[in-house]
Amino acid sequence: MLSEFLISHITQLRTQPPMPLHRQLYEGLRAALQLAVLKPGERLPSSRELANDMGLSRNTVVAALEQLAVEGFLCSRVGSGTYVNEGVAKTARRRPPALAQQARALSRRGQELATAFSAAELEIQPFTPGLADFSAFPVALWQRLQNKHWRMTYPDMLDYSYGGGHAPLRRAVADYLRLFRSVTLDLYQVIITSGTQQSLELCAQMLADYQDTVWIEDPAYWGAIKAFMATGLKLHPVPVDEEGMAPGPQDDKTPPRLIYLTPSHQYPTGAVMSLQRRHQLLGIARTQRAWILEDDYDSEFRFDGPPLSSLAGLDTDERVLYMGSFSKVLYPGLKLGYLVVPRSLVEAFKQAHYDLNRPGQMPLQAALAEFIAMGHFASALRRARASYAQRRSSLLAALKPCLVRGAWISGAEQGLHLCLRLPEAVDDSAVARRVGQLGMTVRPLSAYCMQRRDLRGLVIGYGYAPLQAIEQWGPVLAKAIAAELTHAKEKAAA
Ligand SMILES: Cc1ncc(COP(=O)(O)O)c(C=O)c1O
């Protein structure tokens, strides 16, 4: 009965360009929950039975069931199989249905954090922005290095890491930043963190008090929004134009304590901050005695235009805190990044980082330091750059039919995503949903906006899918968007 329902649902999906099989099965199971074909408390057939009934591999079935378990729809009982969770509402919404009920138990801040902007559900599909090609990571080499460092580990390496992290890794980071990002720095200014998210939280905790103002780009990176909400700051959105954050006289009325920027490749519009704007913001930081938090999350991948210095590289007043991450170049689950702190703040930051975060993972840091020192990081970067450049060109070529229908592209010079801007009359969320029905993920630009209502577009990633997939799916994506653009134009004319 269940497998018949699933087969019929999947057959419907198959009439469209195919999604990965496990995703199709996942969607089918979601529909079964929604339509009460599967009821709360009901036991599912085993993965082996489902695989046999449906002619699928067991891995495919397990992947779909695991995803539903992670999302709270299913649970396993040892020795007795997989069940539909009792709490699953008929609607089987994307978010755990209990969220509204939980709200009463949460602090006001907790409620805001649970409901405001958030990481969209991780969908590993062609064009999902924010994803790099993890399959390119040299796993075997990494394993060898990790084994070596575990063998060499002495007891102190198993302690919390004091002093900002493993010195060889901090040295490698400092050398890289001096050479490629024009940052003038001393080794002791580098603190290894568990990534940009932790760097942002540390800066907010150390430099701003409750209800102090942080200027944030509008549209903005949700991770930064959440970090500032969690630390009780007042967010002041400042619009972004094609030169990056564009503060005007009205913003002077809300002077900042912190200014959060992604100047190399604004997230998500992709705007590259002009030199003039960089000086303007450094000037504001100087006169307001504010701190700039520079999130340089994807500067390693620059394809067009002259190389750009970081904002930290232009800073003569030590008002910029620079942060980078290994999430894009290596892989996000590594959970390692770095923060460069002005000299006057180093000791306070290191102490607070130690007290608040109890950092560790020294053998992992040692393996990464050697990975960089042996030149593997540079060659991984070179390979990735060449490969992403091809994917980017293929996507740009595929999107051409949209450009003659009123769309335009921003932010394709750098990084792993670009932004296809759409005319204001187009509902970008509806276009993204339509694309989603075809088995691809793109994100609507309006979903990243805090205050403004004038931006429409699609944030499209080219980091995850291999070139062949982009060549195959790019025209499908472009056709779907072009159809929506034509439709919107006809509607406006009617
Ligand atoms: C704007 C921006 N900053 C930073 C990061 C990386 O953050 P983390 O080091 O916390 O993984 C991302 C990842 O998607 C990002 O989009």
Give me the residue spans of the domains in the chain.
2-97, 137-374, 379-493
> 229-238 pLDDT, tens per residue?
999 999 999 9
Q: How far is the CA of 491 from the centre of ligand 1 (A)?
A: 38
Euclidean distance between CA atoms 444 and 442, whole angstroms? 7
| 220 has a pLDDT exceeding 90 | yes
82 φψ region: left (φ > 0), alpha (ψ -120 to 50), beta (else): beta
221 lines ligand 1 (CB under 6 A): yes
Q: How far is the CA of 337 from the centre of ligand 1 (A)?
A: 10
197 lines ligand 1 (CB under 6 A): yes
CATH code for the structural domain at 137-374? 3.40.640.10
260 lines ligand 1 (CB under 6 A): no
Report which ligand 1 atom has the smallest distance to the Cα of 325: 9
Nearest CA to ligand 1 atom 3: 297
> 386-433 pLDDT, tens per residue?
999 999 999 999 999 999 999 999 999 999 999 999 999 999 999 999
User: pLDDT band at residue 15, thresholds of 50, 70 and 90?
Assistant: very low
CATH number assigned to the domain with residue range 379-493, chosen from the 4 options 3.10.560.10, 3.40.50.2300, 3.30.365.10, 3.90.1150.10: 3.90.1150.10
Comparing 326 with 156, the larger pLDDT belongs to 326
User: pLDDT value at position 133?
Assistant: 86
Instruction: Measure CA 207 to chain center.
Output: 25
> 178-207 pLDDT, tens per residue?
998 999 999 999 999 999 999 999 999 999
296 lines ligand 1 (CB under 6 A): no
Share above pLDDT 70 across residues of the chain, in percent, rounded to a whole number = 92
| 97 has a pLDDT exceeding 70 | no
| 94 has a pLDDT exceeding 60 | no
- Range name among 15-24, 148-157, 290-299 with the lowest pLDDT average: 15-24
| 482 has a pLDDT exceeding 50 | yes
Q: How far is the CA of 221 from the centre of ligand 1 (A)?
A: 8
Comparing 261 with 37, the larger pLDDT belongs to 261
Neighbours of 461 (CB within 10 A): 23
- Asked if 2-97 and 379-493 have one fold, the answer is no
Nearest CA to ligand 1 atom 6: 196
| 354 has a pLDDT exceeding 50 | yes
Check if the beta carbon of residue 322 is closer than 8 Å to that of residue 312: yes
- The preferred substitution site among 327, 329, 330, 459 for testing ligand 1, maximizing ligand atoms within 8 Å of CB, is 327
| 92 has a pLDDT exceeding 70 | no
Nearest CA to ligand 1 atom 4: 297
- The preferred substitution site among 117, 124, 221 for testing ligand 1, maximizing ligand atoms within 8 Å of CB, is 221
Residues 101-120, mean pLDDT to the nearest whole number: 75
Supply the mean pLDDT for the chain.
Answer: 89
CATH architecture assigned to 2-97:
Orthogonal Bundle (1.10)
Report which ligand 1 atom has the smallest distance to the Cα of 295: 3
User: pLDDT band at residue 124, thresholds of 50, 70 and 90?
Assistant: low
361 lines ligand 1 (CB under 6 A): no
User: pLDDT band at residue 91, thresholds of 50, 70 and 90?
Assistant: very low
CB neighbour class for 94 (10 Å; exposed up to 12, middle 13-18, buried from 19): exposed
198 lines ligand 1 (CB under 6 A): no
Nearest CA to ligand 1 atom 7: 196
User: pLDDT band at residue 90, thresholds of 50, 70 and 90?
Assistant: very low
Nearest CA to ligand 1 atom 2: 297
| 335 has a pLDDT exceeding 90 | yes
Nearest CA to ligand 1 atom 13: 130
| 95 has a pLDDT exceeding 90 | no
Report which ligand 1 atom has the smallest distance to the Cα of 262: 1
> 70-82 pLDDT, tens per residue?
777 888 876 778 8
- Range name among 57-66, 86-95, 296-305, 443-452 with the lowest pLDDT average: 86-95
Euclidean distance between CA atoms 89 and 73, whole angstroms? 9
Residues 124-142, mean pLDDT to the nearest whole number: 85
User: pLDDT value at position 167?
Assistant: 96
User: pLDDT value at position 313?
Assistant: 95
